[in-house]
Amino acid sequence: MAETKDIPANPPHRQAHTDDRYDPHRIEEKWHARWQADPSLFAADPADSKRKKYYVLEMLPYPSGVLHMGHVRNYAIGDALARYMWMQGYNVLHPMGWDSFGLPAENAAIKNKVPPRQWTLQNIAAMKKQMNRMGFSYDWSREVTTCLPEYYRWNQWFFLKLYEKGLAYRKNSKVNWCPECATVLANEQVVGGNCWRHEDTPVVQRELEQWFLRTTAYAEELLHGLDRLEGWPEKVKTMQRNWIGRSEGALVEFKIDGRVGSVGNKVAVFTTRIDTIYGATSIQLAPEHPLVSDLIGNDPSLHAKVEEMLAEQNKAKERGEVESMEKHGVFLERYAINPFNGEKIPIWVANYILMDYGTGAIMSVPAHDERDYEFAQKYGLDIRVVILPRRIGEPPAEGEPEKPVLPYTPKDSLLINSGEFSELSNQEAIQKMTAYAEQHGFGKATVTYRLKDWGISRQRYWGTPIPMVYCEKDGVVPVPEDRLPVLLPDNVDITLQGGSPLARVPEFVNAKCPKCGGAARRETDTMDTFVDSSWYFYRYTSPQSSGKPFETANIDYWFPIDQYIGGVEHAILHLIYSRFWTKFMRDLGLVHNDEPATRLFTQGMVIKDGAKMSKNKGNVVSPDDMVARFGADSTRCYALFAAPPDRDLDWQEAGVEGVHRFLSRVYRFIVRNAGAANGASGRNGSGAVTAEQLSPKARQIQRRLHQTIKRVTDDFQGRWHFNTCVAAIMEFVNELYGAEEEISAGKFPPQLLAEVQRKVVLLLEPFAPYLASELWEMLCEKGNLLRQRWPEYDAALAKEDEIEYPVQINGKLRSRITVPVDSPEDLVRERALAEEKVKATVEGKQIVKVIVVPGKLVNVVVR
RNA sequence: GCGAAAGUGGCGGAAUUGGCAGACGCACCAGACUUAGGAUCUGGCGGGUAAAACCGUGGGGGUUCGAGUCCCCCCUUUCGCACCA
């Protein structure tokens, strides 16, 4: 009690002042207005800048009209990084735009009778307002809006280039059709075989003539390029590898026995296991295989059976039950000849053969393939073993059965019953048998991919018109470059259902043939919106460019993107398409980089009560609501604090409150102490005060400050653990509160106090930029915080004088000793053994050894 | 079925290379200040015990002076792929 005399009865930090209350709304509105008034604050220097560049990019949103928490998290991460990189002295490009074509605008138009364009532009305005309110540091002078002709004309231009190079072509193909919407859906809008908007409406397949982009031309490069993308998550790279699905094998032709139809007298199969060809006991065709009807001929009962199979398959597809379908087949009563042994084997049609993979036909080897085995068992087909784990006559290894368990599929065994190839290893057999087939003209080595060409035609209104016309005389004719853009007409009645809305606009459809000038019909399909997002980030470098999509010189400076940030849901589609687009543009000579982005980060989802936020579940937390209650700083700071960025984040309102309390504490500390420090020059380190002149507590604060700078910096750039960055600052602020009695008693040199406050504010800038700006000004500092340098940590000042060693006995904590830092091991050992508790515990036992881990601990091993 | 990631207090999460498990925050408890407190400040807070001992990172084994961390087996959850020949 006695010492309380020295301390004011009501020390300042124990009082609630009305004037030191943290009012985020007052602060944020003030700075919001200033930032809006001066867009240059967040603008990147031009590409001819001598400064080193940093391009940080968040995936552009679809302008649905409201920002959700997932956006906020994504952008809070990107914004923290952008601000940090500015403070590291980089010229930072941090742009934002709108992926603004797409079906929701059309749906909204039908529902609310608002033109898609108007609906979209309103939404953009609303979301932009929300983003600005969050305080994101976007360079809006580079904003890209994909539904505007200035942008989409370049989609058309690229399309013409693709067409010129033979990378855009037209063919008949099946598309997803929702009868309820009366429109085509993108693959990603088909959920479990049903329409995403009408969850009980199965999507049907419709055959339509469509435009495709030849992504498969780059399959090999898209695959191998992944190996060099070290800054991409393994998960995403694996997904892309699987999607591309490269498979090495052989094409082998089997002659068809007997009469020959119009399609040919051979059937080609693709196999990765040509080494098992002596075990082939049937040929299996996909039901849609063109040979099927030829082989059936006029047999009505076979015809009916195959038809039935197709019908069943379609039904299963509609129900989304294709995977669980039982294997089913029909024998076509015809035979093929195995070119290796001349054997006649039956030809079947089977529902498990996919027409769009390989050749749509396989050789069936039941003994050595799971699916063929299941099928052969059901229909009693021959099962012939042609590979063994060991030589015939060799005894089985310990625990190995006498005969291999079928189906036996390993690739490191030996061939038997395979003519001249018997006794070869599988690997050797694959090479020799492929060569044999090639020599005899019935086969060759080949590579198959699962990746398919990208169908970009959409029978929708709200998209980029495909710049093609159809002329009776000249056929398919591209619109000449100088007549771009082909403008998307306004005032289109999209309530008319069925077919492309543009087909119902005569002014649009009726065109002149660019070649002959005669009457022609315009293409009325529009492009997939993934075209828009395949190259938008290049446009940010040259947003005003009018004669070209962008200036190559700007690309050379800014690209590749240093850090791309977005949701993992784009791992395949957008990220493959944009890699494809980059490679194509590189081959045109427009860019000189092979890949769009060197580093990719996929943040976790924002969930609430264990489930993804959704209107259906009623667990949506609105950013506006959070901002209204706690302010933008608390909201974004919580989004970074609550979990590491790659993990799912469980939104807890009490947590936002906690962060808000923390920011309040920072605010109040500086409000109370800014005056004491102002006037002192803390701007260049600790000024004139040396560490020795400080009181123990002041020295401790100085030490902790530098330790905190190190922790925040390391966690930020080393690991991207923003949660521990914020935690470290919290710890330091707690420490400051612990020292506040001494501070308010004037025992801290003003220089140190100024340095502490100044650096805390700088550390806070990436996480709570509004508050940081306000406090910066309160400290009488001037200028754009983003142009300030990130604080540097001083190892000498951070260094402890003493270190505490835990002392273990047989691995259990028994005591602690404190020794001067850098004490020699011998001294640490001596002090540990001299410790009373240790002595008592060790008493009467034999010390086997004493382990001293410098800077960590002491462990005494006794027996 | 295959592949990947994860499993730590009442909750979100820390522990970066094997070295004091539970930082920081929430919730809770106590105290201070108060006309008042859903404000603020201080302290406590894995289980267990009077206090220790002891037990604790999904379960079981192992390596090690020492394991949340490494190895083997198993369980659970999430995500991705799913007849790809």
SS3 of A661, please? helix
pLDDT(A181) > 80: no
Task: Report the alpha-carbon distance of residue A471 to residue A692 in Å, rounded.
Answer: 89
A355, closest nucleotide (Cα–C1'): B84
pLDDT(A405) > 90: no
Smallest CA-to-CA distance from A576 within A464, A454, A456 is with: A454
Q: What is the pLDDT of residues A621-633, one digit of tens each?
A: 999 999 999 999 9
Task: Report the alpha-carbon distance of residue A193 to residue A190 in Å, rounded.
Answer: 6
pLDDT(A8) > 50: no
User: Residue A569 has what pLDDT?
Assistant: 85
Tell me which of A231-240, A243-252, A607-616, A680-689 is least confident. Answer: A680-689
For residue A812, give the H/E element and its range. Answer: strand A812-820
**What are the b/e assignments for A51-84, b being 16+ CB within 10 Å?**
eebbbbbbbbbbbbbebbbbbbbbbbbbbbbbbb
pTM here?
0.92
CA at A350, C1' at B85: how many angstroms apart? 13
Q: Which residue's CA is nearest to the C1' of nucleotide B5? A: A235
pLDDT(A688) > 70: no
Smallest CA-to-CA distance from A558 within A84, A86, A57, A76 is with: A57
Phi, psi (rounded to 5 degrees) for A712: -65, -45
- pLDDT greater at residue A861 or residue A10: A861
ipTM: 0.95
User: Residue A691 has what pLDDT?
Assistant: 67
Would you say how long chain A is, in residues?
863
Q: How far is CA A438 from CA A35, A365, A432, A433, in A?
A: 70, 21, 10, 9
Calculate what percentage of chain A has a pLDDT beyond 70. Answer: 91
Which runs of consecutive H residues, i.e. helices, occur in A606-721?
A: 623-630, 632-641, 653-677, 696-713
Inter-residue long-range contacts of A692-698, CB under 8 Å, 24+ positions, other chains counted: A693/A749, A694/A749, A694/A752, A695/A742, A695/A747, A695/A748, A697/A739, A697/A742, A697/A747, A698/A739, A698/A742, A698/A747, A698/A748, A698/A749, A698/A752
SS3 of A1, please? coil
A247, closest nucleotide (Cα–C1'): B84
pLDDT(A3) > 80: no
Q: What is the pLDDT of residues A690-741, one digit of tens each?
A: 767 788 899 999 999 999 999 999 999 988 999 999 999 999 999 999 999 8
CA at A731, C1' at B14: how many angstroms apart? 13
User: Residue A540 has what pLDDT?
Assistant: 98
CA at A228, C1' at B71: how many angstroms apart? 31
Q: How confident is the model at residue A686 (pLDDT cuts 50, 70, 90)?
A: very low
Task: Report the alpha-carbon distance of residue A328 to residue A324 in Å, rounded.
Answer: 12
Calculate what percentage of chain A has a pLDDT beyond 90. Answer: 67
pLDDT(A19) > 70: no
Quick one: average pLDDT of A601-613? 87
Q: How confident is the model at residue A399 (pLDDT cuts 50, 70, 90)?
A: low
User: Residue A207 has what pLDDT?
Assistant: 82
- pLDDT greater at residue A500 or residue A559: A559
Quick one: average pLDDT of A123-141? 97
Task: Report the alpha-carbon distance of residue A532 to residue A541 in Å, rounded.
Answer: 16
User: Residue A608 has what pLDDT?
Assistant: 87
Q: What is the pLDDT of residues A629-672, one digit of tens each?
A: 999 999 999 999 999 999 999 999 999 999 999 999 999 999 99
Q: Which residue's CA is nearest to the C1' of nucleotide B24? A: A727
Quick one: average pLDDT of A516-525? 95
CA at A71, C1' at B37: how many angstroms apart? 37
Q: What is the pLDDT of residues A307-365, one digit of tens each?
A: 998 888 877 766 656 666 788 999 999 999 999 999 999 999 999 999 889 999 999 99
Q: How confident is the model at residue A863 (pLDDT cuts 50, 70, 90)?
A: confident
A668, closest nucleotide (Cα–C1'): B40
CA at A583, C1' at B83: how many angstroms apart? 33
User: Residue A182 has what pLDDT?
Assistant: 67
CA at A661, C1' at B38: how many angstroms apart? 13
Q: Which residue's CA is nearest to the C1' of nucleotide B25? A: A658
User: Which DSSP string do the residues of A340-401 spell out, in sequence order?
Assistant: TT--EEEEEEETT--TTSTTSEEEE-GGG-HHHHHHHHHHT------EESS-TTPPPPTT--
- pLDDT greater at residue A478 or residue A810: A478
User: Residue A204 has what pLDDT?
Assistant: 76
Q: How confident is the model at residue A575 (pLDDT cuts 50, 70, 90)?
A: very high
Quick one: average pLDDT of A295-307? 90
Task: Report the alpha-carbon distance of residue A329 to residue A152 in Å, rounded.
Answer: 49
Dihedral-angle region of residue A33 (phi above 0 means left; psi in -120 to 50 means alpha; beta otherwise) = alpha
* The amino acid at A510: N
- What tokens were used for A352? 């498990």
Residue carrying structure tokens 């080949």: A446
CA at A724, C1' at B45: how many angstroms apart? 22
Residues in CB range of A67: below 8 A, 6 or more apart = A61, A127, A130, A131, A134, A623, A624
CA at A694, C1' at B14: how many angstroms apart? 32
Dihedral-angle region of residue A559 (phi above 0 means left; psi in -120 to 50 means alpha; beta otherwise) = beta
User: Residue A324 has what pLDDT?
Assistant: 67
Q: How far is CA A577 from CA A12, A316, A603, A690, in A?
A: 60, 30, 20, 59
User: Which DSSP string do the residues of A744-773 spell out, in sequence order?
Assistant: HTT-S-HHHHHHHHHHHHHHHTTT-HHHHH
Dihedral Cα A21, A24, A27, A31, nearest 10 deg: 160
pLDDT(A684) > 50: no
Q: For the sheet containing A510-512, what is the strand order? A: A475-478, A468-471, A519-522, A510-512
Considering only CA atoms, give the Rg of chain A. Answer: 35
What mean pLDDT is reported for chain A? 89
Say if CB A607 and CB A564 are below 8 A apart. no
Which bases along strand B come within 7 Å of a protein CB atom?
3-5, 11-16, 19-21, 23-27, 32-33, 37, 39-43, 54, 65-67, 79-85
A11, closest nucleotide (Cα–C1'): B41
Quick one: average pLDDT of A448-455? 90
Angle at A271 between CA A265 and CA A273, to 5 degrees: 130
User: Residue A17 has what pLDDT?
Assistant: 46
